[in-house]
Structure 1
């Protein structure tokens, strides 16, 4: 077999990107100037506070000419409009605005680019970048996430312009492409940062020594000034542009403190302030990168190239260029580059990157494999079923990144608190500087110094970091363990859940029938199973299939038979050795007037246990019975036990089965209570009942059939997300593996996260208030103020990083 290697042409790629960009702009212009051409367009509606608002919008739009249809879904906040070719899009927007609402076009093409930003040490840095870029006319929209270190910008100017503007604030922005993960940027930034800190630190130490050696004071002052310039250049530059953007961030406060200290002659204090600040922010950046890398590591799981089978040759090419239905070859020990279906070979696959399962899963022809998983043993050929952007691992990365960018309720509250707290303390610092000396309560130098210390304390850096770092760490850890948490709000909800309701079929149980009992009366068990196989082999009924699979696994052969016949609603029949044999329910044999007294009680008992009974016999005798039942998952009992250990008060089973079956399954699974004979709407009522009892309720289902109950519950949890796109899209939390073993871990992780968030918040507040109290007696020095802020931030980050190692 010949092996050749090809690589994508960069010039072609660049050309393609340029064409795409231009085409996007043309499409945008066409879209903005277009009319509705008998097509359905979607909008997002902002400002609806009740379903009657949706009705108001529908009626308002229906009054416009040339509107064929207008529908508003209050739950999803979406507006769908269908009109003819004389209706302007602007008229739709104007009409909705007149009604008091705002809309945005969901199908409008936007030229967004994503950048990696290095150097942000707290949430205020992200806000400063947003405010600065928002003032540039060529920038239409900008969103900066401190948690992920990413910036999304919709802009019309060049990438270099954006990078340059961000650098003015003291940060390094790098455009993210498929081949660029910004790792080299991070390494170079780290190296230069530490070397400058070391240099300024040596200058301060040298100046301090010289100041006690009798050398003229001007020499140590020069050394201190050099240290201030080296360590303070970045924060002062960032502060300048932050002030222009009307933003009060840590750079503004620290720069004011350092410059003020120098102006009142406290050169050593000023130099120490900027040095400690630079060291603290560098350490914070380094620590934050560990949390951000928890997701970047996922990105590196799938190989960038794949071996394609092309006739008798193997051709290597980038995964971006692999097409649907192409056959890729994966050797033992290699990672699988794309999702697909095995068409040749057998192997064991380590699916831990996707599902968190530690034990490899056996795979054969027809089975699905996922990008990023590891081929443990045999060589396999896989037909590609999903392109690189649509693979399961790509969706996980996308959803986790989105989740990390969403603010949890606690984080949103802290941000709002900080936005009010910082300017108040800033004004208070100015009053401390001015008021006391004016009224002769001390010297100007004394109160200016205290005011500068208050400026440093004013930045709530540790407080603002306390929540997002914890949430990013927890979500990243969960993703590595096969649990997809869709946002910080859901992580917080999981931490307060007190009751969990499970759908029975397919969740607590396997969801497919299996043979559970065999009772032979007039024949041997082997003979009975052989007859059963013969009768059921031609049936397509799920119960018949389960019996056939069971018997074949025992390597029992069927008999020669003729005249197969399906008896609707009762069973099947076939002729074996000239005699007619039957397999079916009680009704089938009752109609043949066969005595069933000796087996009726046994059959009824099996029915009460939730089992389906198949009777095997002839028109003259009953040979035996085979019962089939949905079996409990092997992980269910362990999962239920684990949930009780982590403090879940109520573990509940919801099922449409009869009372007897529900009672038996509930005993076997050891749930606390059950609700039986439920229709889908009854499951909603059961959830509401638990909520009325004072519980925060999570619902665990498959994400599709249990949609109403999942929507009603406080937290929706879906199973088997690796094989179900719908589950990944609809649930709040997705267990990627098709079992429950990760559920207790998820609850424990959530509760640990809440505990760490509280620890961080209280620690930050106590340190801050302690520093504020020490200012007024004059006990708090400037360098102590810096330590109280940057030191507390570092401790908060390190405390949050513990979640990355949680098993």
Structure 2
């Protein structure tokens, strides 16, 4: 069997998520071809793009045949299945979202739909059965106004942001209505005023009874106006939602002549609705504020003249001017000027980063691997200097654009708790209706009037309505995702948000995660009679001839340590593969390499005391190199990929958060792994692991711990991340693969963001639990009290609406979450 790889972007240009259903369909079809044993998604190292890896029999198939087959199947699937991300202007809470989901699922050809209370809808459909425009027209007929947020390939770019005119929304209060956007709140306040006046007039003895009665009728009109609209929407789709239950209870109270109680119910319910929408809008705007980070225009420089252009007009290679205290318009590399740039909107870093022009000889093809000091992100804020930057990504492919798109999609992903509450409501609401019908006929069993039984049934109807339950989880997830994004952490939906908070074990990649990812000069040990400076000058002179990463580290850090920067010139470099190098300096031969080099070079073995120093340094994780001039040993130099400055304090903070096991998975030898682990206080270190070994290690940890997160750079660690409960990518800003493969992306290259993410998840999970207890607890208490006649409609509706507002505002506390000082 042999292997070959094909970029997914070639097969599916419109799909960036390698978990998309079309990828699964493609794999299923291709694995059915003779000669193909296995097909799976993996990532292509530094090229960053997700790829399909094919295991095939070369005696049956050639690579070009596989490419043609894959492209053919990919083209057919792309043509067959359309993908849309829509925003519905009048889907403002989870109840509306559920109705919209049901509406869309009823359309023939719609294969997948997920809607959120924030108005975003993720949609997949069969293009042979569904015409996109007709689908939008059907939504118009159902009363939904939508806006396309993403479109399939070949759709005119200018139309991407064009609003699809689908008629006036059913919820007029969301788009003008009687009093503009505040119609619902104003109607509720009018309702309250009429209720107060009418109730007060009932105590005026000489006043005709029809006067307060007329005011109560006014309360019914203003209080029920928007409730009727939403109830009608639900009933027309075959659903009996909370709005319908409230209307039934209010009408029942009126039938019984209890107009005051019916008016109070409608007033409190309409006020609760209005305040619920207001609170959810606050969380929604926190996410929508991300879209305002990127400027709408840029100053493009051509022929020494600047012109203001829309950012959509920018092309790769364009030069743009970034004036002081303005936002950067594109992901770009600095080609002129110096300045400090505030990257906190993208990476969460609190301290501005100094930016300088990139060296002309430096490669600039891969944005992820360009040095931080030479690149800027769209949406970051320039300091006091003026920069000229070269665009390296178009507007729709910038880091901030991708983050905004993924946050929108994350809102459509339901958490495990929300899935549970949705299933619970599906059975609970019919049960409540059945219970109410039975209670209406209680007078046949017990000695009371029909009026009493009917009134009790209406009170139970109010008490049992699961309004708070419906809103409890979505409001917390939305607030948690919004707060995380503001702090430089991208959480892709409710499931990773909940899962992260329940973890007690974390697995870390070493290189670039716990360590800096690049070697540093750590030890300089000359023999007696040789100064440290002389040893460094010789080492720097010799290593300056090499382009090996270790050589570059020695040259860079060695020059920084030398007081006399005059470095002699070496020549005649000769590499000794795997062992070291040889060069000529001042007419003498210099050998520099590891211990095995000098053990086989000749009979001039290094002194025992020097050998013992080498072994002691290597026990600490250092890579050591001995230096010899002719036959004389001069000393040794050690380099090491050093732990991040914040690694130890971060792991201490994680331990205080309750993380019991922190394991390092690395390809380095066990000795190096244990040295690093000891320095940063890891609980375990597993060395000598290949990428497939890391996957097995994650599976083993999952069996032992139940749930485990894998933290890495999102490129080489993608397979291990995919097998973990939660995959967390470090330094995701600028990295396509890190954004696509991870469940959670730490945008800044800062390990210290991890305690914030876990703390926020713990708080979110705690608030979700609180909200469930509140919502279910109120129902559990009120229903028996109303059945026994202890509580009437008035107190029941107060408790009902109070619990709804309580869970929403409790969830909004997440927007103000701050990580407490753990030290």
Q: One fold, TM greater than 0.5?
A: yes
1:563 alignment partner in structure 2? 572
Tell me if the contact between 1:236 and 1:255 (Cα under 8 Å) persists in the aligned partners.
Answer: yes
Deviation at 1:692, TM superposition (A): 3.7
Deviation at 1:410, TM superposition (A): 1.2
2:409 alignment partner in structure 1? 402
Q: Are the structure 2 counterparts of residues 119 and 782 from structure 1 closer, same or farther at C-alpha, using a change threshold of 3 Å?
A: farther
TM-score normalised by the chain length of structure 1? 0.83
Deviation at 1:164, TM superposition (A): 6.7
- Tell me the alpha carbon deviations over residues 503-558 of structure 1, each in whole angstroms, 9 at most, x when there is no partner: 22222111211100112234332222222222111211111111111123346222
1:410-425 alignment, distance < 5 Å: 410-425=417-432
Tell me if the contact between 2:545 and 2:570 (Cα under 8 Å) persists in the aligned partners.
Answer: no
Deviation at 1:279, TM superposition (A): 0.6
Q: What SS does structure 1 have at the residue aligned with 2:89?
A: strand
2:398 alignment partner in structure 1? 391
The answer to whether the aligner puts 1:596 opposite 2:588 as a matched pair is: no
The one of 476, 498, 506 aligned to 1:470: 476
1:171-190 alignment, distance < 5 Å: 178=161, 189-190=180-181
The answer to whether the aligner puts 1:365 opposite 2:375 as a matched pair is: no
1:548-587 alignment, distance < 5 Å: 548-554=555-561, 556-587=565-596
1:692 and 1:509 map into 2 onto residues whose CA distance is 27
Q: Are the structure 2 counterparts of residues 135 and 698 from structure 1 closer, same or farther at C-alpha, using a change threshold of 3 Å?
A: closer
Tell me if the contact between 1:42 and 1:106 (Cα under 8 Å) persists in the aligned partners.
Answer: no
- Tell me the alpha carbon deviations over residues 51-92 of structure 1, each in whole angstroms, 9 at most, x when there is no partner: xxx98x779x66xxxx9989776999x999x999xxxx9xx9
- Tell me the alpha carbon deviations over residues 285-307 of structure 1, each in whole angstroms, 9 at most, x when there is no partner: 01111211221111111111111
1:262 and 1:660 map into 2 onto residues whose CA distance is 80
Q: What SS does structure 1 have at the residue aligned with 2:384?
A: coil
1:679 and 1:192 map into 2 onto residues whose CA distance is 62
Q: Are the structure 2 counterparts of residues 178 and 531 from structure 1 closer, same or farther at C-alpha, using a change threshold of 3 Å?
A: same
Q: Are the structure 2 counterparts of residues 536 and 733 from structure 1 closer, same or farther at C-alpha, using a change threshold of 3 Å?
A: same
1:185-334 alignment, distance < 5 Å: 189-213=180-204, 214-334=206-326
Tell me if the contact between 1:130 and 1:142 (Cα under 8 Å) persists in the aligned partners.
Answer: no
Tell me if the contact between 1:44 and 1:105 (Cα under 8 Å) persists in the aligned partners.
Answer: no
- Tell me the alpha carbon deviations over residues 717-767 of structure 1, each in whole angstroms, 9 at most, x when there is no partner: 221111321111112222112221011222222122111111111111111
2:491 and 2:656 map into 1 onto residues whose CA distance is 22
Deviation at 1:783, TM superposition (A): 2.8
The answer to whether the aligner puts 1:640 opposite 2:612 as a matched pair is: no
Tell me if the contact between 1:130 and 1:143 (Cα under 8 Å) persists in the aligned partners.
Answer: yes
The answer to whether the aligner puts 1:781 opposite 2:792 as a matched pair is: yes
Tell me if the contact between 1:119 and 1:285 (Cα under 8 Å) persists in the aligned partners.
Answer: no
The one of 667, 683, 690 aligned to 1:672: 683
Q: Are the structure 2 counterparts of residues 134 and 403 from structure 1 closer, same or farther at C-alpha, using a change threshold of 3 Å?
A: closer
Q: Which runs of 5+ in 2 are unaligned?
A: 1-19, 43-49, 55-60, 126-131, 150-159, 359-373, 819-823
Tell me if the contact between 1:503 and 1:701 (Cα under 8 Å) persists in the aligned partners.
Answer: yes
Q: What SS does structure 2 have at the residue aligned with 1:455?
A: helix
The one of 113, 125, 130 aligned to 2:96: 125
Tell me if the contact between 2:147 and 2:161 (Cα under 8 Å) persists in the aligned partners.
Answer: no
The answer to whether the aligner puts 1:156 opposite 2:162 as a matched pair is: no
Tell me if the contact between 2:576 and 2:582 (Cα under 8 Å) persists in the aligned partners.
Answer: yes
Deviation at 1:110, TM superposition (A): 3.3
Tell me if the contact between 1:479 and 1:485 (Cα under 8 Å) persists in the aligned partners.
Answer: yes
Q: Are the structure 2 counterparts of residues 142 and 292 from structure 1 closer, same or farther at C-alpha, using a change threshold of 3 Å?
A: farther
The one of 334, 337, 343 aligned to 2:335: 343
1:794 and 1:445 map into 2 onto residues whose CA distance is 31
- Tell me the alpha carbon deviations over residues 244-296 of structure 1, each in whole angstroms, 9 at most, x when there is no partner: 21111122111112222222222222222211111100000011112112211
2:135 and 2:726 map into 1 onto residues whose CA distance is 43
Deviation at 1:621, TM superposition (A): 1.2
2:597 and 2:83 map into 1 onto residues whose CA distance is 68
Tell me if the contact between 2:500 and 2:726 (Cα under 8 Å) persists in the aligned partners.
Answer: yes
TM-score normalised by the chain length of structure 2? 0.82
Tell me if the contact between 1:617 and 1:624 (Cα under 8 Å) persists in the aligned partners.
Answer: yes
2:37 and 2:420 map into 1 onto residues whose CA distance is 37
- Tell me the alpha carbon deviations over residues 443-462 of structure 1, each in whole angstroms, 9 at most, x when there is no partner: 22222222222222332111
1:58 and 1:159 map into 2 onto residues whose CA distance is 33
1:754 alignment partner in structure 2? 765
Q: What SS does structure 2 have at the residue aligned with 1:467?
A: helix
Deviation at 1:695, TM superposition (A): 4.8
The answer to whether the aligner puts 1:650 opposite 2:661 as a matched pair is: yes
Deviation at 1:223, TM superposition (A): 1.4
1:721 and 1:175 map into 2 onto residues whose CA distance is 27
Deviation at 1:691, TM superposition (A): 3.4
1:675 and 1:140 map into 2 onto residues whose CA distance is 47
Tell me if the contact between 2:227 and 2:243 (Cα under 8 Å) persists in the aligned partners.
Answer: yes
The one of 737, 752, 758 aligned to 2:748: 737
Tell me if the contact between 2:664 and 2:682 (Cα under 8 Å) persists in the aligned partners.
Answer: yes
Q: What SS does structure 2 have at the residue aligned with 1:623?
A: strand
Tell me if the contact between 2:328 and 2:378 (Cα under 8 Å) persists in the aligned partners.
Answer: yes
The answer to whether the aligner puts 1:115 opposite 2:87 as a matched pair is: yes
Deviation at 1:384, TM superposition (A): 0.9
The one of 627, 630, 634 aligned to 1:623: 634
The one of 143, 147, 171 aligned to 1:166: 143
The one of 117, 141, 155 aligned to 1:147: 117
1:160 and 1:227 map into 2 onto residues whose CA distance is 36
Q: Are the structure 2 counterparts of residues 560 and 757 from structure 1 closer, same or farther at C-alpha, using a change threshold of 3 Å?
A: closer
Tell me if the contact between 2:456 and 2:787 (Cα under 8 Å) persists in the aligned partners.
Answer: yes
Q: Are the structure 2 counterparts of residues 494 and 581 from structure 1 closer, same or farther at C-alpha, using a change threshold of 3 Å?
A: same
2:174 and 2:543 map into 1 onto residues whose CA distance is 64
Deviation at 1:189, TM superposition (A): 4.5
2:92 and 2:615 map into 1 onto residues whose CA distance is 70
1:792 and 1:748 map into 2 onto residues whose CA distance is 26
Q: What SS does structure 2 have at the residue aligned with 1:722?
A: coil
1:612 alignment partner in structure 2? 623
2:99 and 2:719 map into 1 onto residues whose CA distance is 43
2:196 and 2:36 map into 1 onto residues whose CA distance is 75
1:763 alignment partner in structure 2? 774
1:141 and 1:568 map into 2 onto residues whose CA distance is 57
Q: Are the structure 2 counterparts of residues 602 and 71 from structure 1 closer, same or farther at C-alpha, using a change threshold of 3 Å?
A: closer
2:506 alignment partner in structure 1? 500
Q: What SS does structure 2 have at the residue aligned with 1:265?
A: coil
Q: Are the structure 2 counterparts of residues 44 and 669 from structure 1 closer, same or farther at C-alpha, using a change threshold of 3 Å?
A: closer
1:500 and 1:511 map into 2 onto residues whose CA distance is 19
Q: Are the structure 2 counterparts of residues 44 and 636 from structure 1 closer, same or farther at C-alpha, using a change threshold of 3 Å?
A: closer
Tell me if the contact between 1:45 and 1:79 (Cα under 8 Å) persists in the aligned partners.
Answer: no
Tell me if the contact between 1:142 and 1:151 (Cα under 8 Å) persists in the aligned partners.
Answer: no
Q: Are the structure 2 counterparts of residues 718 and 678 from structure 1 closer, same or farther at C-alpha, using a change threshold of 3 Å?
A: same
Tell me if the contact between 2:519 and 2:641 (Cα under 8 Å) persists in the aligned partners.
Answer: yes
- Tell me the alpha carbon deviations over residues 340-384 of structure 1, each in whole angstroms, 9 at most, x when there is no partner: 111112222211111111111222223221111111232111111
2:135 and 2:657 map into 1 onto residues whose CA distance is 53
Deviation at 1:407, TM superposition (A): 0.8
Tell me if the contact between 1:414 and 1:463 (Cα under 8 Å) persists in the aligned partners.
Answer: yes
2:17 alignment partner in structure 1? none
